[in-house]
Structure 1
């Protein structure tokens, strides 16, 4: 075993100690101070030498093992594998395979930040849900405890007053939109934001309705461009997917006014409305027009898709029609996820999780903006949610950046797939920053800045 070079850890830095340690060991391997075959100290011995917890050293070693800089031999120890030798020139396909071998870091939007989820709280909630007796029959509306939890959640975090009986459980936003669409008259047309959330577009088409793309600008959905003769309009007003903007107050009022005047529903997808980092969000469409708005929420972005549960708050006639259809067809969302959510809310663990989540994602967002700026680009979008938009000159640049990042083990999402209407369309990247562990995000951001700089 060789003596590890001096490592300086900055405890006042916002960078985790494990990341600092992994960076220092990686640098030592790159400059030849550590050589292939050198055995590293044990995690316990290194922790004692650096006066840190063993968790720090173990996490650093795990990162180096995942990246291929180190290798482990059971019962023997951890050894340096990476070298300072120049990387061989590979064909594009070989480079992509090499990136995949190190573990792709996914910077696409849509997945939750599981790293801040308190696993002890998660287990407690599942145990609490399991302590309740099994059901002896179906419940097509919602578990009563879930209805109470959602009511409190909406009032506390979204400022929406609702009675428990006004809440229906859903299997998630796309499933809820499909349920509503199946109640519309045959041949109905539904407006959707363009660009927009393509899973909902797919759900609408699968339900048999015609999708009508409606343009979006810096103030959100262009209400004046909504055509006549629609049955509903779907939108993401709190944080547009994927452009990251919010629907202006004037357009919210105009959208509700048109819905009332023309007799159509507004489907308000509030998918990450709890996540704002600057000021309080604008009033919900459901608060401005409760008589014409179907408010939709989900647990998949702030907790986990494992729960498979969301909620819907709608006018009485629509709720009654949904419950009647569920009763007639035997379709209904499972109650297990509802009970877990209710347990998390009732214990206070949900509120604590949301506070941690907002702090973590605000910090990650700042790091993403810095990496984008380092690449000579600009990120757009309100300080909210878990993604930003990076405009690019054209589709060729978009494809080139996505491909270059993939070759280096970073998955990016181009704007091209988010359009429902015919082109040509503006190009860009939809950068998500919630899903990767912090160490992986730290590793991926320099790659992002570099590929943007080469555009």
Structure 2
């Protein structure tokens, strides 16, 4: 068995890397026909990876004809360079990756519906503005006007333009707010939840406290005492895709007022709802304790690098003062592009196209997965759904098997904050915005086979049952 080195920092799945290494060894004559490969358990232990990784790699090699399994005996090399013939020189170019890879991870925007002509017009319009002679710590006035109109039209939140602060995005805004909290502060976050927000809080020196969620969103009664703030996604909980119930919204605001919290309301895709009008914001219910956070990353593109924040006056003044004192502020270029998109009407047209496209994609996802017997949960909103799985082992097996099929999928484990899940035990957070419509259509039947267990790595007799 040749030495195998797996790069955990690379973007390619470990199962794909392992299959590549064994295939290269067979093609180069290092492995010969008849050579017995280690069992998936032995190889997993040697490489310090999950057995689902080694099993997925072996199944790929068997499917390609490089290896074959013999019942009760193991897995053997059957395809290799002929003896006595020198191995061909390695081909230049990138390492092997599965063909037609499709990214089904959540969190990316749907760029396929973005009007590139409108995009170019907005950048030209932003470039027509004169360069700044001095920094602006709050926001570009045109951006403030655009966000004010956007919040009123799409989120039902009336605000004064002066109340709007530009941000570098949600995580950047969370960091700024956290730095104004007293030293040693504790902030509650949903678990499972948005890990970039949790990371931003930790980077600002705040203790992150996991708080459970269920089908009605954040479990308010389970939020511990002694917090300085609570971060949540009430309109479309990330990553489970459910909305916070009206009763819990009222209870959350009541506790915030009684105990002196800030509520950090991340409305990352609140504009994208397909069954009813977008849900009212917590900021409309309690503007005295709620810090509303919005972003252009999910509805347009992270290229803009801009978001917005609406906060109670004292907090807003503290943020502006901190920016002025440190010279840190969000760049105005992205603000001006978003303002240009809004003033021309292109942003409103884009949102109409986006809602229509994502609604159709969501229906396609539900239809194809249901045909494969796969259950899906989550509200009719946004750009992702949740696929429950029975346990963590099943989740790892699905992620590994999907990678072999050229599908990048996202397990729930990546979204956990605490040592154990407070919500569902395992599942897939399935995004449908990033790929093209054609790519999504091709990928879904294969994903249904993988999740349904018809195309997952099977255990071999020499391996024994998992956990033995």
User: Normalising by the residue count of structure 1, what TM-score does the alignment of the two structures yield?
Assistant: 0.79
Q: Is the deviation greater in 290-299 or in 363-372?
A: 363-372
Task: Tell me if the contact between 2:292 and 2:310 (Cα under 8 Å) persists in the aligned partners.
Answer: yes
Establish whether residue 279 from structure 1 lines up as the match of residue 279 from structure 2. no
Task: Tell me if the contact between 1:99 and 1:407 (Cα under 8 Å) persists in the aligned partners.
Answer: no
How far off its partner does 1:281 sit? Answer: 2.9
After TM superposition, the structure 1 = structure 2 runs for residues 201-212 of structure 1, keeping only pairs within 5 Å, are 201-212=198-209
How far off its partner does 1:91 sit? Answer: 6.2
After TM superposition, the structure 1 = structure 2 runs for residues 406-417 of structure 1, keeping only pairs within 5 Å, are 406-417=403-414
The 1:90–1:428 alpha-carbon spacing in structure 2 relative to 1, beyond 3 Å, is farther
Q: Which string of whole-angstrom CA distances, capped at 9 and with x for unpartnered residues, describes residues 355-383 of structure 1?
A: 00000000110111122212212100000
After TM superposition, the structure 1 = structure 2 runs for residues 358-437 of structure 1, keeping only pairs within 5 Å, are 358-423=355-420, 426-437=425-436
Q: Which string of whole-angstrom CA distances, capped at 9 and with x for unpartnered residues, describes residues 260-313 of structure 1?
A: 111110000000000000001332100000000000000000000000000000
Specify which of 211, 219, 237 is matched with residue 214 of structure 1.
211
Which residue of the partner structure matches residue 89 of structure 1? 65
Task: Tell me if the contact between 1:237 and 1:269 (Cα under 8 Å) persists in the aligned partners.
Answer: yes
CA distance in 1 between counterparts of 2:272 and 2:293 reads 15
Specify which of 348, 363, 382 is matched with residue 351 of structure 1.
348
Task: Tell me if the contact between 2:154 and 2:278 (Cα under 8 Å) persists in the aligned partners.
Answer: no
CA distance in 2 between counterparts of 1:91 and 1:400 reads 20
Task: Tell me if the contact between 2:369 and 2:445 (Cα under 8 Å) persists in the aligned partners.
Answer: no
After TM superposition, the structure 1 = structure 2 runs for residues 124-143 of structure 1, keeping only pairs within 5 Å, are 124-143=121-140
The 1:400–1:434 alpha-carbon spacing in structure 2 relative to 1, beyond 3 Å, is same
Establish whether residue 453 from structure 1 lines up as the match of residue 429 from structure 2. no
How far off its partner does 1:87 sit? Answer: 5.8
After TM superposition, the structure 1 = structure 2 runs for residues 42-191 of structure 1, keeping only pairs within 5 Å, are 88-90=64-66, 100-191=97-188
CA distance in 1 between counterparts of 2:287 and 2:453 reads 49
How far off its partner does 1:104 sit? Answer: 1.7
Which residue of the partner structure matches residue 25 of structure 2? none
Establish whether residue 254 from structure 1 lines up as the match of residue 230 from structure 2. no
After TM superposition, the structure 1 = structure 2 runs for residues 269-308 of structure 1, keeping only pairs within 5 Å, are 269-308=266-305
How far off its partner does 1:162 sit? Answer: 0.2
Higher relative contact order, structure no. (Cα contacts within 8 Å, ≥ 6 residues apart): 2
- Aligned partner of residue 64 in structure 2, secondary structure: coil
Q: Is the deviation greater in 362-371 or in 144-153?
A: 362-371
The 1:439–1:91 alpha-carbon spacing in structure 2 relative to 1, beyond 3 Å, is farther
Task: Tell me if the contact between 1:192 and 1:212 (Cα under 8 Å) persists in the aligned partners.
Answer: yes
CA distance in 2 between counterparts of 1:449 and 1:90 reads 26
Q: Is the deviation greater in 416-425 or in 237-246?
A: 416-425
Q: Which string of whole-angstrom CA distances, capped at 9 and with x for unpartnered residues, describes residues 53-100 of structure 1?
A: xxxxxxxxxxxxxxxxxxxxxxxxxxxxxxxxx9633569x9xx9982
How far off its partner does 1:331 sit? Answer: 0.3
User: Normalising by the residue count of structure 2, what TM-score does the alignment of the two structures yield?
Assistant: 0.77
Task: Tell me if the contact between 2:98 and 2:405 (Cα under 8 Å) persists in the aligned partners.
Answer: no
Which residue of the partner structure matches residue 14 of structure 1? none
- Aligned partner of residue 238 in structure 1, secondary structure: coil
Which residue of the partner structure matches residue 85 of structure 2? none
Establish whether residue 442 from structure 1 lines up as the match of residue 441 from structure 2. yes
- Aligned partner of residue 100 in structure 1, secondary structure: coil
- How many residues are treated as equivalent by the alignment? 367
Task: Tell me if the contact between 1:140 and 1:332 (Cα under 8 Å) persists in the aligned partners.
Answer: yes
How far off its partner does 1:447 sit? Answer: 1.0
Q: Which string of whole-angstrom CA distances, capped at 9 and with x for unpartnered residues, describes residues 219-238 of structure 1?
A: 00000011111000000001
How far off its partner does 1:422 sit? Answer: 1.7
Structure 1 unaligned blocks of 5 or more:
1-85
CA distance in 2 between counterparts of 1:271 and 1:144 reads 22
CA distance in 2 between counterparts of 1:89 and 1:140 reads 62
How far off its partner does 1:247 sit? Answer: 0.4
Structure 2 unaligned blocks of 5 or more:
1-61, 69-76, 78-93, 455-468
CA distance in 2 between counterparts of 1:361 and 1:128 reads 28
Which residue of the partner structure matches residue 310 of structure 2? 313
Specify which of 234, 237, 260 is matched with residue 237 of structure 1.
234
CA distance in 2 between counterparts of 1:283 and 1:409 reads 39
Task: Tell me if the contact between 1:249 and 1:282 (Cα under 8 Å) persists in the aligned partners.
Answer: no
How far off its partner does 1:144 sit? Answer: 0.3
CA distance in 2 between counterparts of 1:91 and 1:128 reads 59
Task: Tell me if the contact between 2:155 and 2:279 (Cα under 8 Å) persists in the aligned partners.
Answer: no
